[in-house]
Amino acid sequence: MLNRRNMLQGMAGMAAGAGAVMSAALDPQKLMAAPGTGRTTKRVIFFMQNQGFHPATCIPKGMTSGSLANVTLPEPISPLESYKDRLHIINGLHGTHTSPSHSAFFGALGGYRGGDGVPPSASTIDYELSKVLPETLLPHLCVGMDSIENMTTKPTVANLSASGAGQPIFMHSNPNHLYQMLYGGIATGDIRKQHEARSSLLEQVEKLATAKGRSLPTTSQHRYGQFVQGFQDVNGLREQLSTVSDHLRKFAPTVDERYTRPEFETDWHDALLELSISALTSGITNTLTIGSGRGEIFGAWKGIGVEKQGHDLGHINQPDNPIWIKIRQYNSRMLVKIMDALDSIPEGSGTMMDHTLIVYTSNNADKQHTSGTNWPVMLLGNFDGAFKTGCFTQLDGKRPINALYTSILRAAGANVDRFNMDEKLAKKFDSHNGPIKELLT
């Protein structure tokens, strides 16, 4: 039996997490970038791990800038050993202007001052890339991984991504809700019944919300309009996806007990990753953001044998720590799953992975309670030949994370010299203008 209250909570999360406006005038078939469509497109994935990314957990001991060919990767990222020819480890960026401390929140991907409860002051790099890259049915997908309790009680949260000032983009944390949104139209049995019931109610809520919004004071109409737009977006996406149902059947994951009866939070983490990969390989989206810990100080990994969770994890040293080795290796295996999936699918003269860039870092710079003076990053993939790979680059600490985002935007085709940094701010926090030449081919 369907619970109406739970359904409404889930749908509100789906509406909040829709993230971008669909256009009814667009042909869904032409927006798919996947096998058999004849399209080649670039795609970008951001993987943000909370609690910091200590450089010693990714830089081979004693190494200065140079090739990774004849070195062994540190134990925490050892699962990436077979892909180190596609890996670029970067040390020496900074984010002091973002005030990361416990987390920079929206500032981590926005390159501006962030904080707990502080709304975004501008759009974030993932959203900006979704506008530059070829358009897809779902321009931008965000997923968030946390403890099973947090993911259940708060299936959507917004801490990392934004489409503009005061406009957060929500992360999906319940894989059942995300499956409903992406594949409910091609499902059978109870999932199909739930999809049809949700769809009917969503349309009713959209009509009611639109009508009620007109009677609100002018000062409240804009904020309320964003909520209404969320329902319009998710309804539009549902209709668009229904037109490519035959195509989607080839990519939809199988719903198993990891979804319906998870033993550990990592069961849901794995299901969310599976859905994210399917959204990429099917061509539903080409911009993905994964928030492990959802951009906050929480998070749990009991499924890999880590009993400590949440804020306490940030108060233990990461180098040579067995707990952080397990978490970082788990992350690295997730990255390998993404790369393996994309590498298995032909695209153009190569594979989907050849046209992809994965950015792995933390919303906490190098550690909890950080000043952000060092912000390590790993890049995986060369983004259609734009980025150097198979190497480690030590920078001088004078260029901000904004410069990395400028570099990615340039590689994606945007003619920009700065990202979210005006001349006044740049004089204080950036030593150069434009992309980081050491990273590009």
Specify the pairing of strand 87-94 against strand 391-400: parallel
Tens digit of pLDDT at every position of the chain (441 positions) = 344 445 444 445 545 545 444 443 445 555 555 555 556 789 999 999 999 999 999 999 999 999 999 999 999 999 999 999 999 999 999 999 999 989 999 999 999 999 999 999 999 999 999 999 998 999 999 999 999 999 999 998 999 999 999 999 999 999 998 998 898 877 656 665 565 445 554 445 545 555 555 555 555 555 545 554 554 566 667 778 888 888 898 999 999 999 999 999 999 999 999 999 999 999 999 999 999 999 999 999 999 999 999 888 988 999 999 999 999 999 999 999 999 999 999 998 899 999 999 999 999 999 999 999 999 999 999 999 999 999 999 999 999 999 999 999 999 999 999 999 999 999 999 999 999 999 999
How far is residue 118's CA from residue 56's CA, in Å, rounded to a whole number? 31
Asked if 111 contacts 375 with a C-beta cutoff of 8 angstroms, the reply is no
How far is residue 214's CA from residue 122's CA, in Å, rounded to a whole number? 27
Domains in the chain, please, with CATH? 42-185+258-429 (3.40.720)
User: Is pTM beyond 0.85 here?
Assistant: yes
- Which residues touch 388 (CB under 8 Å, ≥6 apart)? 88, 382, 438, 439, 440, 441
Exposure string for 196-205, b = 16+ CB within 10 A, e = fewer: eebbeebeeb
